[in-house]
């Protein structure tokens, strides 16, 4: 049974930038205003009135209040959001930096559709030869090939196979993905040939049917024995197709960057029949920037047949990047909301500390008059804010350890309790919070003790 993918490209989310920008700007402005209004209001309190407040000023810094509860909650939620953002960013980095098993640089993926141009099956092989001859002759082209679908294009063709000498367990079968390709396909896509040879121009309709498989195919079905010369068969529409293995390539990720390595076989396009004989991609490996030869490739295609449509032209690197659009969007949005929460927490902490300093001006002035140095005052005020920050961080870490396990299915190469992320986020949040405390603390050190004594 054959299963074929139908989408030509991976999911591409493209929200309206203007609406998104407006929404984010309003959210940011609203959060800042709600945090700054009480902070500014606190800093404008009358100093003389505060000094006359006596006992009130000496106790407000010590008792627990709703404001402190809100600040601690903000810090905890900020840490939780930042940990989630950090995990998604680390996931994106792992996906982007992993070895996909092929060299995506300097490859041009050109979409074609012979079916629209009215080609019959018996006309396709002549078309393919003409296309490859014309494109391979272009300046700056190192190799060219064809395929039914290309890496990260969102398509796949797979089903059950029968491998010579392999007997699957009861109620289990052998599955593999197969791709119909032109000559020098593995070379064009930058795959590493480990044994045997690539699909070549000699693999024509009347030649023995052959295949190039990957390491996973050998590992799953050939028990790591010598694969060259071994045979397997698969069910294609209306018949059984039997081939001989002539080459083995290094494992690669063909459908999406998250997939595990899976048995794959490359089959000569010239030996195909039926729907699978219609190539959808012309691959071109260049000696330089692939976009620089895009125009020449398009003209070469039109020179072979002006009615053959070019449905798309992009580099393989762009195609791989588009396969990560979903992960990239999640990482960006989670980072934005995480840093927004961090900003609000710091504004809230600044406002609370500024208010506390103004209310405790009397106490601070008397302490300084009795011999407390500026460093002592600075340590006292920052210590107050640091204590609140540590409480919030502790609560946030506990919540993150409990909740990030629900993100496991969305992560790649990163554990939900990744220590690097947890430590980095905790240090970032603590450092920014201390900076938010430093400004009102520095203002507290400038209290004139004589003013306090005059009003005492």
Residue 366 in tokens: 């008397």
pLDDT of residue 270: 92
pLDDT of residue 365: 67
The pLDDT tens digits along the chain (456 residues) read 334 443 333 333 344 444 445 445 545 554 554 555 455 545 554 444 444 444 434 444 455 667 788 888 888 888 999 999 999 999 999 999 999 999 999 999 999 999 999 999 989 999 999 999 999 999 999 999 999 988 988 777 788 888 888 887 766 778 899 899 999 999 999 999 999 999 999 999 889 999 999 999 999 999 867 899 999 998 766 567 899 999 999 999 998 898 889 999 999 999 988 888 999 999 999 999 999 999 999 999 999 999 999 999 999 999 999 999 999 999 999 999 888 888 888 888 888 777 777 666 666 666 766 666 777 777 787 888 888 889 999 999 999 999 888 989 899 999 999 999 999 999 999 988 888 888 777 776 666 666 545 544
Would you say the pTM of this structure is higher than 0.85? no
pLDDT of residue 54: 42
Q: Which segments within 92-164 are labelled E, that is strand?
A: 107-112, 141-147, 157-163
Q: Are strands 193-196 and 231-236 parallel, antiparallel or unpaired?
A: unpaired
The closest alpha carbon to 285, from 147, 188, 193, belongs to 188
Q: By the 8 A CB rule, do 102 and 189 touch?
A: yes
DSSP 344-406: HHHHHHHHHHHHHHHHTHHHHHHHHHTT--HHHHHHHHHHHHHHHHHHHHHHHHHHHHHHGGG
For the chain, the domains span 27-98+325-455, 114-308
The closest alpha carbon to 60, from 333, 285, 294, 381, belongs to 381
Q: What is the phi/psi pair of residue 346, to 5°?
A: -70, -40
In the 8-state DSSP scheme, what is residue 168? P
Q: What share of the chain is helix, strand, coil (3-state, %, to 5)?
A: 55, 15, 30
pLDDT of residue 437: 83
Q: By the 8 A CB rule, do 117 and 309 touch?
A: yes
pLDDT tens per residue across span 286-319: 999 999 999 999 999 999 999 999 999 999 999 9
pLDDT of residue 33: 47
Residue carrying the six token digits 């076989």: 265
pLDDT of residue 47: 44
**Residue 218 half-sphere exposure, CB side, CA atoms within 13 Å?**
21
Other Cβ atoms closer than 10 A to 12: 11
Question: What distance in Å separates the CA atoms of residue 50 and residue 455, rounded to the nearest whole number?
Answer: 10
């Amino acid at each position: 049974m054959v299963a074929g993918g139908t989408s030509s490209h991976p999911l591409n989310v493209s929200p309206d930038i203007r609406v998104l920008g407006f929404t984010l700007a309003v959210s940011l402005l609203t959060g800042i205003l709600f945090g700054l209004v009480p902070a500014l209001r606190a800093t404008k309190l009358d100093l003389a009135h505060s000094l006359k407040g006596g006992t009130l000023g000496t106790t407000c810094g010590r008792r627990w209040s709703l404001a402190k509860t809100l600040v601690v909650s903000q810090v905890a939620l900020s840490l939780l959001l930042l940990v989630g953002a950090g995990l998604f960013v680390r996931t994106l980095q792992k996906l982007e930096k992993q070895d996909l098993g092929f060299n995506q640089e300097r490859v041009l993926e050109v979409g074609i559709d012979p079916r629209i141009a009215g080609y019959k099956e018996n006309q396709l092989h002549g078309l393919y030869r003409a296309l490859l001859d014309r494109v391979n002759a272009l300046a700056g082209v190192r190799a060219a090939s064809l395929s039914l679908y290309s890496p990260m294009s969102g398509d796949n063709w797979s089903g059950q196979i029968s491998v010579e000498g392999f007997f699957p367990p009861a109620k289990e079968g052998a599955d593999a993905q197969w791709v119909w390709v032109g000559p020098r396909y593995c070379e064009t896509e930058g795959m590493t040939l480990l044994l045997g040879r690539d699909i070549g121009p000699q693999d024509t309709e009347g030649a023995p049917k052959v295949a190039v498989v990957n390491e996973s195919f050998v590992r799953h079905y050939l028990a790591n024995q010598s694969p060259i010369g071994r045979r397997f068969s698969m069910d294609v529409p209306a018949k059984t197709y039997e081939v001989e293995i002539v080459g083995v390539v290094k494992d690669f990720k063909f459908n999406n960057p998250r997939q595990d390595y899976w048995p794959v076989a490359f089959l000569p396009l010239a030996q195909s029949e039926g729907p699978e004989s219609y190539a959808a991609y012309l691959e071109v490996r260049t000696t330089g920037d692939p976009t620089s030869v895009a125009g020449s490739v398009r003209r070469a295609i039109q020179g072979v047949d002006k009615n053959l449509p070019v449905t798309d032209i992009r580099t393989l690197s762009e195609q791989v990047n588009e396969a990560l659009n979903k992960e990239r969007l999640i990482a960006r949005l989670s980072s934005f909301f995480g840093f927004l929460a961090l900003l609000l927490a710091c504004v809230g902490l600044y406002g609370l500390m500024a208010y506390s300093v103004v209310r405790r001006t009397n106490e601070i002035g008397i302490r300084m008059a009795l011999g407390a140095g500026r460093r002592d005052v600075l340590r006292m005020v920052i210590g107050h804010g640091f204590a609140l920050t540590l409480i919030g961080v502790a609560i946030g870490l506990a919540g993150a350890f409990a909740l990030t396990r629900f993100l496991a299915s969305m992560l790649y190469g990163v554990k939900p309790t990744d220590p690097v992320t947890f430590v980095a986020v905790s240090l970032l949040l603590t450092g920014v919070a201390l900076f938010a405390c430093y400004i009102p603390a520095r203002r507290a050190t400038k209290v004139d003790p004589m003013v306090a004594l005059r009003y005492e």
